[in-house]
Amino acid sequence: MLQAYKYRMYPNRAQVASLMQHIHACRFVYNYSLEQKIRAYEQDGRKLSCYDLNNRLPALKEEHPWLKEVNSQSLQSANKNLDNAFTRFFREKKGFPKFKSKKNPVQSFQVPQHYHVDFERNRIKLPKLGEIKTVFHRTFTGKMKYATVSVTSTGKWFVSILVDDGKPEPEPAPFSLDTTLGIDVGLTDFATLSTGEKVENPRFLKKSLQRLKVLQRRVSRKKKGSKNQQKAIQRLARCHEKIANQRNDFLHKLSFRVVSENQAIAVESLNVAGMQKNHCLAQAIGDVSWSTFFTILEYKCRRYGKTLLKIGRFDPSSKICHGCGYINQDLKLSDREWTCPDCGTHHDRDINAAINIKKFALQEQNLVGVSGVERAAEPVDLPR
C-alpha cells in the first residue's frame, strides 16, 4: 500500500536558491511541453507522448543552458505529470491541463529516485542539491517511491515521500443499507449525514474569512509594486495558509470519523465546471473544501477497506421525498424544510437529500464511480 509522509525542510540560503531553480525549471518544462503538445495536435493532429517530450529535453537544454543545473529526472517528472494530467482529462473529463503559474500558492517539483533519508541526523540528500536539514518527526519502513518538494507562499519548505510498505490494500468490506452513510455537502452546514446529523462549518473559518477580506482589501489599496504592498501580500498569504491548515485538520478528523463508523459512504459528484465560475469567496472556499474532503475520503476508504460510492448530479436529491418518491418540483433553494403532499412526511431539506444520496448510490444503475474500481492518484499534496 502506498502512503505519503510529509516533512518540513530547513534549507540554507544557497539551497533555497537551488531549490527555487528546480521549481522554475520544472514549471518551465511543463509549460513548454504543454505548448508543444497543443501545437502538434493543432498543426497535424499528432499526439506527443511522454517519450517524445523527453526526447526534446536535450535540445531545450542547449537552448536554455541554466536547465543543465537541474536534476534531469525532475524535468522528466514534469513531463510525466503533464502526461498524467492529459490522461485524467481524457479518462475522467477533469478539465484541460492548464499552464502552471508562478503565482500558484504552492510550488513543487519531484525527485523520482536517487535520494536518501537519514532519520538519525535529520537530513535528506537530494541529487544536485546535497544534504538538506529535515525534521523527520516520524519514520517509515518500505520502498521509497518519488519525493515531492514543495514551498508555500510564505516560504515554508516541505518534502513528501511516497512509500510502498509492500502490503496489499485491504479488501473492501461488504456493505448494506444499514452500514452505508449518505453525505450531502452544502453552504449552510458543511455536511449533512443521512443519520440526521449536521456537521457545522467550523467557526474559525467564518472568522478567518472576514480577516481574509480585510487583508485582501489592504493589498489592493497599496501602491502596486511597493514594499508595503509586498508586506500586505505576505500577510494575506499567511492568512490563507492558516485557513488551509485549519480546514485540512477539520477535514481529516471528520473523514476519519465517518470512515471508521461505516462500511460504505455515498456522496454526490461535485459540479466541477460550475465551480470554476464561482467568484463568491464563501462559495469558492466551500468548493475547495468539498473536493478536498472527497479526496481524503477516497484514500481513507482505500486504506481502511471501505467503499466510496459516487452518484451523478443528475439526481434531484433534495426534491424527491425519500419516503414515497414524490418529486417536489416547486422546491426553491431557500426552502430549508418542506412537507410531502403525498405521504405527509415533513422533511429537512438537507437530511432528505443525504438519505436520497445513500439510496441512489445503493441502486446500481445510478453509480457513476466506485473507489474500488477507479483508483485516484495517491494523496501527496492536498490542494488548498
Question: Which residues are known catalytic residues?
Answer: 184, 268, 350
* Residue 282 makes contact with Zn ion by CB under 5 A: no
272 or 343: CB nearest Zn ion: 343
Within the chain, strands assigned E span 2-10, 107-111, 116-118, 123-126, 130-135, 143-151, 157-164, 180-185, 191-193, 198-199, 264-268, 307-311, 337-339, 346-348, 367-370
204 or 326: CB nearest Zn ion: 326
* Residue 321 makes contact with Zn ion by CB under 5 A: yes
| Smallest gap from residue 331 Cβ to Zn ion (A) | 13
Residue 108: name the closest of 156, 144, 60 by CA: 156
Concatenate the DSSP letters of all residues of 337-380 into one string: EEE-TTT--EEEHHHHHHHHHHHHHHSGGGEEEETTTSPPPP--
- Candidates 13-21, 248-256, 293-301, 314-322; binding stretch for Zn ion (CB under 5 A): 314-322
Strand, helix or coil for residue 130:
strand
**Contacts with 256 (C-beta within 8 Å, 6 or more apart), sequence order:** 300
* Residue 256 makes contact with Zn ion by CB under 5 A: no
In the region spanning residues 5 to 24, those forming contacts with Zn ion, defined by CB under 5 A, are: none
Residue 188: name the closest of 26, 3, 355, 349 by CA: 349
Interface residue with Zn ion among 173, 324, 327, 377 (CB under 5 A) is 324
| Smallest gap from residue 324 Cβ to Zn ion (A) | 3
14 or 343: CB nearest Zn ion: 343
| Smallest gap from residue 332 Cβ to Zn ion (A) | 18
How many chain residues interact with Zn ion (CB under 5 A)?
8
| Smallest gap from residue 346 Cβ to Zn ion (A) | 10
In the region spanning residues 22 to 81, those forming contacts with Zn ion, defined by CB under 5 A, are: none
Q: Say how far apart CA 215 and CA 207 lie, in whole Å.
A: 13
284 or 343: CB nearest Zn ion: 343
Cα three-residue angle 302-303-306, rounded to 5 degrees: 50
| Smallest gap from residue 321 Cβ to Zn ion (A) | 3
Q: Say how far apart CA 65 and CA 68 lie, in whole Å.
A: 6
- Candidates 64-72, 138-146, 235-243, 325-333; binding stretch for Zn ion (CB under 5 A): 325-333
In the region spanning residues 326 to 365, those forming contacts with Zn ion, defined by CB under 5 A, are: 326, 340, 342-343, 345
Backbone torsion region of residue 104, taken as left when φ is above 0, otherwise alpha when ψ lies between -120 and 50, otherwise beta: beta
Residues engaged in binding Zn ion (CB under 5 A): 321, 323-324, 326, 340, 342-343, 345
